[in-house]
Structure 1
């Protein structure tokens, strides 16, 4: 069954309208006699239980733990700057 309420009634009876929608009824709200909104129940999503996750397919390259040349270069520059500063003191 479809229930149609005007805006004023919907404001005063919101909890009742939600109950009707949760029970499977169609609930519509009208403004000036024209339906503008329909209440829908949001499907509940349950959290996965321990061990229900799908396995991840992770790929890593053979050289993932090799030093990055840009970092080596940057560290070498900063290291030489530190040595210069320590020599000045």
Structure 2
């Protein structure tokens, strides 16, 4: 992978070309006042395949999870405690 170092002004004026070069595999370092501050690199999508059932046996939901709250608990949530 080749690498180029440009100052911020040069990068701003040639962003479209830099994006094309990054897509082709080139890495660009962008500097501000001679100090490197950012890196433009090719995007590499890495889709993670979902494996269903990963939490099976690790999570338990109570039968009454959606039952109405007790009056005192509901009052505390509403700020009436």
| Length-normalised TM-score, structure 2 | 0.54
Query: Which protein has the bigger helix share?
Result: 1
- Alignment partner, residue 78 of structure 1: none
C-alpha distance in 2 between matches for 1:25 and 1:69: 59
- Alignment partner, residue 79 of structure 2: none
User: 1:4–1:68: structure 2 CA closer, same or farther, 3 Å change rule?
Assistant: closer
Q: Does the Cα contact within 8 Å between 2:24 and 2:42 map onto a contact in 1?
A: no
Is 1:65 the counterpart of 2:64? The answer is yes
Q: Which runs of 5+ in 2 are unaligned?
A: 75-81
Report how far residue 35 of structure 1 moved: 2.6
Q: Which runs of 5+ in 1 are unaligned?
A: 75-89
Is 1:34 the counterpart of 2:35? The answer is yes
C-alpha distance in 2 between matches for 1:15 and 1:42: 15
User: 1:59–1:34: structure 2 CA closer, same or farther, 3 Å change rule?
Assistant: closer
Deviations 1:26-83 (A, max 9, x none): 20112333332211334324485xxx5421424234xx23966825xx8xxxxxxxxx
| Length-normalised TM-score, structure 1 | 0.51
- Alignment partner, residue 85 of structure 1: none
Query: What's the C-alpha RMSD, in Å, of the aligned pairs?
Result: 3.2
